[in-house]
């Protein structure tokens, strides 16, 4: 039988393409034509090249990949939405609610604490397949205390879904999350959830998104009915009505648009076209020429504008009632970018941190970022986002931040707390590795390049607690727990109070620290005594002051000699740096090798101000003169001279104490507005906004953190349990003179004891 060349076998003769092995398998007919009966495998690369010599093997698989995060204010329905997505994509086979009455709880809330409290504490990663596209999803917490979880998820994602509640609208944490999305330049879709609830008004929420979040947005869907009459959705791009049938809304039925809704659909579609044409030239041209705009043209324009972060398409639905989730998934595929449509930059360490654009292809050298650490049953689990190249099990990779070479012992894909072993992962994927010792934010490469990814922004902790184990025997487990949590969470800090010898834990708020104390008890079986909450005050100076200090000590043998002269002054308001040191000595009055020791001395002295012993910030120190001794001068002598010089001039610079001010947003029934506002004033808060939302009053205030402890209990008793509040750190600002005197005298009394 004559053999045919491979290229002569038409594509139709291949039966299927396996994404696992990345091979095309020929049909029996093709096998016959190829001679001998064994089924030969063609690599996907060969077939692709036969079809188009220019198109690389990975292009199709990259285009069919989406990395998305789901973020929102507390209780907007993020975890419920993720649960539905996993159900419709076949990753889970039954739906469980967040506060599971059946004792199961949502898949993505895998911690016992999360299931009990009904809140998300840690971001959880999973992946699913929808219409042959692979979607990696990270479900993030809504609570401001766990803001780092949102921060690091958005750092590595290509797109996001911002969930808004159709009743609550744009709330304080929605604004924070949106700000984080802007910081990491993440294209996003908005999803207005809970349309089945009483008082649902998606158009009010859309207007709030435009005014409060400054979104250039328009609806791509119109709901059919609202509240208990919510039945389905009309897609303004495809001009189809969708209804969701079946026990869990799994059957999506497309029908013609109801006749009574033609007017609103025409109006909203025109609004959508107008909004997109403002930011997309191609659509604007068709719109201005009055050309007919097809569904395909509109979809492409929305996609271009969304990826360029000039437009936010708004989807609608009710995740709890199983309506609107499948069209949202279609929207993720249609409008959010795949990894090669996003610009990612690395810093080249060999070229003085020069910015390098990563093409994001599997062909290049490996570049991966460790964005989250977790202590698993088998040791440390490190979540990696692969930005370029391929990572394989058994490969050697280099941690650029430490210079260590490490072997990848095990590579897994995560599905909440479950894992699936894989052999390799390429650019664009989110995977986890075991047994790799590193810190959050480290970059890994294959050793051929020295690139680091830009780090994420970590907010400063605002609150501290003193903790100690009840029994002395459990000290080992206690310190093991604290070390682990510190490695996992950059906003959780552990320190030692030099005066009292107590262990101090610091974090983003009461709930944050409570959760960690509870986790120490549950996961390490260590009961801890918790001291009173302490506020992280800061100190700063308000005026220019000069110093001239000579440190001279003779004690037999080599003495110590160092003189420093200069001045301290406050940095301008809003300065991004907290401490600045400048050497303005002309000549060699102080040899240049002692300058770093002087800077170190000033830095050390600024770690604790003389008012209440808290760090001093927003300070600029300028060295103008000094003197040294040929024999007695040393690094230690100059370091001590700097420390004493700082203390000498500090009181002359009129120091003040700064306290953390929180931005508090309260939602209370209007009848309790007066009582709540009066209480805020008592707590030395400044009310900066008061809006009406139906029967509720929304009060925004700036309140000192030290006056907010135990506020949730107080608010409940004032509003018969109907009030709710959220708070987030705003800034450190000076305390009043009487509070400063009180704090200083308390500090002195504590020292005397």
Q: What is the DSSP letter of 449?
A: -
Cα 178 to chain centroid distance, Å, stands at 11
196 is in an annotated binding site: yes
**Separation between Cα atoms, residue 378 and residue 409, nearest integer Å:** 12
Token pair listed for 449: 């390049």
Binding residue per annotation — 677? Answer: no
Cβ 619 vs Cβ 579: under 8 Å = yes
Annotated binding residue 245 = no
**Element (H or E) spanning 265, and its range?**
helix 262-277
Residue 474 contacts residue 533 (beta carbons within 8 Å): no
CA-only gyration radius of the chain, Å: 30
- 133-139 and 65-72: which strand pairing? parallel
What residues form DSSP beta bridges with 142? Answer: none
Q: Is 27 annotated as a binding residue?
A: no
Q: 362 a known binding residue?
A: no
For residue 156, give the nearest of 349, 443, 352, 364 by alpha carbon: 443
Q: Does 310 count as an annotated binding residue?
A: no
Question: Known binder of ligand: residue 368?
Answer: no
User: What's the CA gap between 266 and 318, in Å, rounded?
Assistant: 24
Tell me if 192 is assigned to a ligand binding site. no
Q: Count Cα neighbours of 141 within 13 Å in the Cβ-side half-sphere.
A: 21
Determine the Cα–Cα distance for residues 541 and 116; give it in Å rounded to an integer: 47
Residue corresponding to tokens 């398409």: 313
Asked whether the CA dihedral 402, 408, 412, 413 is positive or negative, the reply is positive
Backbone phi, then psi, for 168, in 5-degree steps?
Answer: -75, -30
**Spatial CA neighbour of 189 closest among 202, 203, 178:** 178
- The answer to whether 567 touches 585, Cβ cutoff 8 Å, is no
Is residue 679 annotated as involved in ligand binding?
Answer: no
The answer to whether the annotation marks 93 as part of a ligand binding site is no
Binding residue per annotation — 605?
no
On whether the CB atoms of residues 44 and 17 are closer than 8 A, the answer is: yes
By CB atoms closer than 10 A (0-12, 13-18, 19+), residue 691 is: exposed
601 is in an annotated binding site: no
Residue 195 marked as a ligand binder:
yes
Task: Please answer whether residues 279 and 310 qualify as being in contact, where contact means their C-beta atoms are separated by less than 8 angstroms.
Answer: yes
Selection from 539, 712, 667, 714 nearest residue 171 by Cα: 667
Q: Is 200 annotated as a binding residue?
A: no
> Does 193 show up as a binding residue in the annotation?
yes
CA distance 1 to 164: 67
| DSSP three-state, residue 408 | coil
Q: With contact defined as beta carbons under 8 Å apart, do 71 and 161 qualify? A: yes
> Quick one: tokens of 102?
């059946």
Query: Do the bridges between strand 23-26 and strand 42-43 make them parallel or antiparallel, or are there none, so unpaired?
Result: antiparallel
Cβ-contact 420, 412 below 8 angstroms: yes
DSSP state string for 321-348: TTBSHHHHHHHHHHHSPPGGGS-EEEEE
Q: What is the DSSP letter of 318?
A: B
* Count of helices and strands (H, E) across the chain: 19, 41
Contact of 366 with 428, CB cutoff 8 Å: no
First to last CA, the chain: 102
- Is 76 marked as a binding-site residue? yes
Q: Residues at the annotated binding site for GTP?
A: 72-79, 139-143, 193-196
Q: Which residues are annotated as a binding site?
A: 72-79, 139-143, 193-196
């Amino acid at each position: 039988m004559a053999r045919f060349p491979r290229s002569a076998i038409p594509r139709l003769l291949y039966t299927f393409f396996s994404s696992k092995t990345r091979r095309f398998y020929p049909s029996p007919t093709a096998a016959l034509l190829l001679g001998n009966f064994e089924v030969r495998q063609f690599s996907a690369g060969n077939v692709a090249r036969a079809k188009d010599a220019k198109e690389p093997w990975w292009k199709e698989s990259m285009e069919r990949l989406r990395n998305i995060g789901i973020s929102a204010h507390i209780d907007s329905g993020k975890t419920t939405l993720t649960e539905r997505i996993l159900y419709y994509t076949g990753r889970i086979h039954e739906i469980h609610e967040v506060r599971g009455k059946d004792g199961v709880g949502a898949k993505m809330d895998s911690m016992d604490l999360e299931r009990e409290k009904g809140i998300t504490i840690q971001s959880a990663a999973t992946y699913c397949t929808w219409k042959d596209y692979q979607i990696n999803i990270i479900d993030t917490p809504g609570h401001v205390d766990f803001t780092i979880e949102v921060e690091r998820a958005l750092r590595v994602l290509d797109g996001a879904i911002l969930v808004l509640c159709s009743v609550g609208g744009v709330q304080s944490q929605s604004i924070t999350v949106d700000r984080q999305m802007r910081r990491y330049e993440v294209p996003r879709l908005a999803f207005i959830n809970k349309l089945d609830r009483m008082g649902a008004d998606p158009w009010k929420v859309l207007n709030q998104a435009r005014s409060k979040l400054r979104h250039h947005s328009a609806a791509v869907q119109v709901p059919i009915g609202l509240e208990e009459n919510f039945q389905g959705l009309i897609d303004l791009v495809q001009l189809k009505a969708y209804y969701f049938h079946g026990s869990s809304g799994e059957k999506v039925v497309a029908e013609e648009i109801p006749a009574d809704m033609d007017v609103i659909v025409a109006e909203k579609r025109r609004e959508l076209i107008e909004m997109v044409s403002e930011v997309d030239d191609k659509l604007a041209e068709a719109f201005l020429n009055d050309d007919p705009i097809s569904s395909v043209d509109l979809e492409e324009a929305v996609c271009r504008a969304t990826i360029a972060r000039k437009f936010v398409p708004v989807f609608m639905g009710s995740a709890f009632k199983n309506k609107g989730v499948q069209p949202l998934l279609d929207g993720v595929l249609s409008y959010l970018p795949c990894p090669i449509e996003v610009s990612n930059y690395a810093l080249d360490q060999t070229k003085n941190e020069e910015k390098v654009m990563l093409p994001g292809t599997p062909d290049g050298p490996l570049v991966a970022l460790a964005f989250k650490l977790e202590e698993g049953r088998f040791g440390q689990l490190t979540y990696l986002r692969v930005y370029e190249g391929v990572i394989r099990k058994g490969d050697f990779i280099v941690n650029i931040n430490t210079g260590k070479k490490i072997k990848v012992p095990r590579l897994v894909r995560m599905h909440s707390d479950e894992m699936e072993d894989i052999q390799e992962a390429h650019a664009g994927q989110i995977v986890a590795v075991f047994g790799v010792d590193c810190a959050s934010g480290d970059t890994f490469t294959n050793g051929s390049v020295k690139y680091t990814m830009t780090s994420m922004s970590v907010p400063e902790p605002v609150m501290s607690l003193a903790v100690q184990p009840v029994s002395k025997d459990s000290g080992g487990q206690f310190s093991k727990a604290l070390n682990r949590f510190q490695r996992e969470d950059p906003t959780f800090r552990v320190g030692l109070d030099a005066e009292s010898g107590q262990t101090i834990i610091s974090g983003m708020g009461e709930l944050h620290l409570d959760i960690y104390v509870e986790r120490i008890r549950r996961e390490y079986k260590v009961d801890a005594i918790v001291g009173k909450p302490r506020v992280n005050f800061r100190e700063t100076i308000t005026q220019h002051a000069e110093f001239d200090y000579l440190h001279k000590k003779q004690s037999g043998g080599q003495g110590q000699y160092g003189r420093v002269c200069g001045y301290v002054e406050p940095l301008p308001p809003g300065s991004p740096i907290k401490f600045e040191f400048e050497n303005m000595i002309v000549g060699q009055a102080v040899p240049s090798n002692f300058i770093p020791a002087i800077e170190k001395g000033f830095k050390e002295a600024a770690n604790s101000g003389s008012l209440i012993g808290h760090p001093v910030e927003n300070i600029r120190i300028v060295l103008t003169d000094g003197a040294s001794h040929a024999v007695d001068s040393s690094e230690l002598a100059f370091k001590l001279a700097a420390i004493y010089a700082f203390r000498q001039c500090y009181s002359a610079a009129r120091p003040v104490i700064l306290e953390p001010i929180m931005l508090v947003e309260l939602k209370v029934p209007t009848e309790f507005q007066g009582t709540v506002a009066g209480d805020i004033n008592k707590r030395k808060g400044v009310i900066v906004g008061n809006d009406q939302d139906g029967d509720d009053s929304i009060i925004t205030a700036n309140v000192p953190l030290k006056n907010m402890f135990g506020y949730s209990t107080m608010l409940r008793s004032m509003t018969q349990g109907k009030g709710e509040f959220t708070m987030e750190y705003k800034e450190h600002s000076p305390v009043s003179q009487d509070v400063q005197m009180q704090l200083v005298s308390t500090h002195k009394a504590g020292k005397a004891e």
